[in-house]
Structure 1
Amino acid sequence: MNNHDLTRRDLAVVWHPCTQMKDHEHLPMTPIRRGEGVWLEDFDGNRYLDAISSWWVNLFGHANPYINAAIRRQLDDLEHVILAGFTHEPVVRLSERLVAITPPGLSRCFYADNGSAAVEVALKMSFHYWLNRGQKDKTRFICLSNSYHGETLGALAVGDVPLYKSTYGPLLMEVMTVPGPDCFEREPGEDCEQVAERMFEAMEATLARHAHETCAVIVEPLVQCAGGMRMYHPRYLQWLREACDRYGVHLIADEIAVGFGRTGTLFACEQAGISPDFMCLSKGLTGGYLPLSVVLTHDQVYDAFYDEYTRLTAFLHSHSYTANPLACTAALATLDLFERDDVIGRNRRLAAVMAESLAPLKDHPHVADVRQHGMIAAVEMVRNKTTREPYPWQERRGLAIYRHGLKRGALLRPLGNVSYLMPPYVITEEQIRFLAQVMMEGIDLACRD
């Protein structure tokens, strides 16, 4: 088997995600044979440093020996069982541990298969809560501009990235979109906290006008990942939590991409000192091994569904593979590694190296912004540094960085004109410096006219 043979077979039968398949007439596919630590290896022996954690899921490296061993042990006992009317030890242990480590008050765990499904659960559960409480007018949701919460119809509706959403507009529920606190949009002399304060006025006004018909506000805490790794100040979350309480509206924290240490704390909400009404987790939950997501909520929500069967208040949402024992076991092993090692402390040191390594790009004539929250760092290319005029998306400047990265042995997959690092936590300081150098080279190539 070699790269060419597997690529040929793939293109005959596979339809890849988030891909214009015609691109592969000129853009080579990269077949992967194995992974180890931060490295991926193809069938021809080439290696690629996984700078994006294989779509932000891998925390402790590919083929991690500890997680591998845990899954093997579980495989001998139980591969799967229905979770309606049945239970198993891995889901109980995982739920107990998640309740213990997430923000205070979150006491109940509802499982699904992936991040989009978790968002669907949170949206439906919030609406259903208000319905069970007799508030039938609460049917709408508020989201932030440039937000992204997944690809299923409910999750897509509460997002605001046109690339993903606009095609399916006729199928989506109407939501209220409020200008977000994106610090990239700061005015001269303004810092990120001042941007957050200024932009919160729109959220306050929207809640004051529409709270009576609003189920929940949904946000990605601190980083809007698929929206170009745009970042904002944690004070916004504090003001939002206070306002949701005042107006009687739920707060949904989508920590699918930013949870489990990505932003410098175990959960991004910790940096604001808040507890949401619903917290959606996935991606890093299993260390990048198996599909699993969870929505955590509090007893007030749980109690609104707890009643006699004939009242028809039960939450009937379900998935065939809910809380799969193998996935729960991978998640438990992932949490073990957080407990066993000082992961957050080490990440802070690695994040400092990342900041230092990317700092020279601040002076690049076609870089408008270098930003970072913990183990997420992003560099935004522009045509004009002074005016921040962007490159037209049709030019696909980021593709040049991607191609250059593969030639240099690095998996960098920019979001449009934004190149970013979001690596596994087992990366070394030397490897971070290597990735920064490859990114700089790629940006130089991409910005050539």
Structure 2
Amino acid sequence: LADLERLLQARGPHIAAVIIEPLVQCAAGMAMHAPSYVRGVRVLCDAFGVHLIADEIAVGCGRSGTFFACEQAGIWPDFITLSKGITGGYLPLSVVLTRDAVYQAFWDDSMARGFLHSHSYTGNPLACRAATTVLQRFADDDVLARNALLSQGVMPTWSAALAGDERVTALRQRGMIWAFDVSPERAGVDFSEWFHQAGRRHELMIRPIGRTVYVMPPYLQAAEVYVDMAERVLATLDEVVPR
């Protein structure tokens, strides 16, 4: 937060927005941070008149434990982006949500005033229908409560299997996201590719980010499937990085 504040003090008038993946910075290696950080970013953006964009394409739709990850920080950004989970993976769909003030700034009957930046795939009715069905499933089956029970039940299995393992560092979880790092001394070169190929031999489709192994499983599997998945991850690790 101190680094961000210094940047905004120096460059605030030239910055349109700050973009964050709240709670879990996925592409950087599943780097997890506290909700207090998200609150701090909101405060700084307000202080310097900069929009806050929450990239919830990976962490939204219940993945972090709440439907929107920002909910756990008790704030709302100026924009939220969603995709992937919003249709359950059946059809491609992306959604951008924004505040009324931003929306109204581009709403006009005049073509010269309206915000026309778009493309030929906007508003696909089949993809939108898939999304409304997924959202209805969230409501009917109380998916968030089920996710909470699954994450509480499966994580101890992972912890027991990996606790004290000298190959593993930073075992961590946020909702339905599990991750750990393999120590650089043990990972070697091309760890991600080796792990991916070994995982396929164990009937596991997994793609590490560098030395970070992560799992973001579907919500609707039975509990024993998650346990089996954890066992396959461990078997893959044993093959790639022998004890």
TM range (shorter): over 0.9
Q: Does 1:377 align with 2:178?
A: yes
Q: Identity percentage over the alignment?
A: 46
- Alpha-carbon distance, 1:308 to partner: 6.1
Distance 2:110 2:224 in 1: 59
Find out whether 1:332 has 2:132 as its counterpart: yes
Summarize the alignment of residues 64-79 of structure 1 with structure 2, pairs less than 5 Å apart. none
Deviation at 1:403, TM superposition (A): 2.8
Q: What corresponds to 2:90 in structure 1?
A: 289
Partner of 1:261: 62
Q: Is the Cα–Cα contact under 8 Å of residues 401 and 439 in structure 1 kept in the other structure?
A: no
Counterpart position of 1:348: 148
- In structure 1, the partner of 2:210 is 416
Cα distance in 2, alignment partners of residues 306 and 433 from structure 1: 50
2:192 pairs, out of 385, 389, 398, with 398
**CA-to-partner distance for each residue in 1:372-417, whole Å, 9 max, x for gaps?**
1000001110134xxxxx845xx22233332332222222222221
Q: Check whether the contact 1:357–1:432 (CA below 8 A) recurs between aligned residues.
A: no
Distance in 1, Cα, partners of 2:50 & 2:163: 40
Measure, in 2, the Cα distance between the counterparts of 1:441 and 1:399: 16
Offset at residue 441 of structure 1 (A): 1.6
- Summarize the Cα distance change of 1:280–1:246 in structure 2 as closer, same or farther, 3 Å threshold: same
For the 8 Å contact 2:147–2:219, the answer to whether it is kept is yes
TM-score by length of structure 1 reads: 0.52
SS at 1:316's partner residue? coil
Which of these residues, 17, 26, 51, is aligned with residue 216 of structure 1? 17
CA deviations on 1:228-274 (whole Å, 9 max, x unpaired) are 21111110110111111111110000001111110011110000011
Counting only pairs closer than 5 Å after superposition, residues 197-208 of structure 1 correspond to structure 2 as 200-208=1-9
Does the residue aligned with 1:363 lie in a helix, a strand or coil? coil
* Contact 1:286-1:331 within 8 A present in 2 as well: yes
Q: Displacement of 1:315 after TM fit?
A: 1.3
**Conserved in 2, the CA contact under 8 Å of 1:218 and 1:254?**
yes
Counterpart CA distance in 1 for 2:202 and 2:33 is 32
Aligned runs of 1:175-214 on 2, under 5 Å? 200-214=1-15
TM-score normalised by the chain length of structure 2:
0.94
Answer yes or no: is the 8 Å Cα contact 2:55–2:81 preserved in 1: yes
Aligned residue identity for 1:426: L
Aligned partner of 2:219 in structure 1 is 425
2:49 corresponds in structure 1 to 248
Q: How many residue pairs are counted as aligned between the two chains?
A: 242
Give the Cα–Cα distance (whole angstroms) in 1 for the partners of residues 106 and 15 of structure 2.
19
Partner of 2:99: 298
Q: CA contact under 8 A between 1:400 and 1:442: conserved in structure 2? A: no
Deviations 1:132-157 (A, max 9, x none): xxxxxxxxxxxxxxxxxxxxxxxxxx
Alignment of 1:155-170 (within 5 A): none
Q: Which runs of 5+ in 2 are unaligned?
A: none
**Aligned mates of 1:364, 1:397 — CA distance in 2:** 17
Partners of 2:56 and 2:178 lie apart in 1 by 17
Provide the secondary structure at the position in 2 that maps to 1:348: helix
Q: Is the 8 A contact 2:202 2:236 kept in 1?
A: no
Q: 1:71-120 CA deviation, whole Å, 9 max, x = no partner?
A: xxxxxxxxxxxxxxxxxxxxxxxxxxxxxxxxxxxxxxxxxxxxxxxxxx
- Give, in whole Å, the separation in 2 of the partners of 1:206 and 1:400: 39
Written as runs of structure 1 = structure 2, the 5 A alignment for 1:23-172 is none
Unaligned runs of 5+ in 1: 1-199, 385-389
Q: Assess if the C-alpha contact under 8 Å between 1:221 and 1:253 holds in 2.
A: yes
CA distance in 1, matches of 2:17, 2:46: 11
Q: Hey, what does 2:232 align to over in structure 1?
A: 438
Distance 1:423 1:302 in 2: 35
SS of the residue corresponding to residue 163 of structure 2 reads helix
Output the amino acid matched with 1:314: G
Deviation at 1:305? Answer: 2.1
Aligned match of 1:365: 166
SS in 1 for 2:60: coil
**Equivalent position SS for 2:232:** helix
Which of residues 56, 77, 91 in structure 2 aligns to 1:276? Answer: 77
Shift of 1:420: 1.3
RMSD over aligned CA atoms reads 1.7
Counterparts of 2:132 and 2:67, CA distance in 1: 15
Q: CA deviation at 1:223?
A: 0.9
Please say if residues 187 and 241 of structure 2, whose CA atoms lie closer than 8 Å, have aligned partners that are also in contact: no
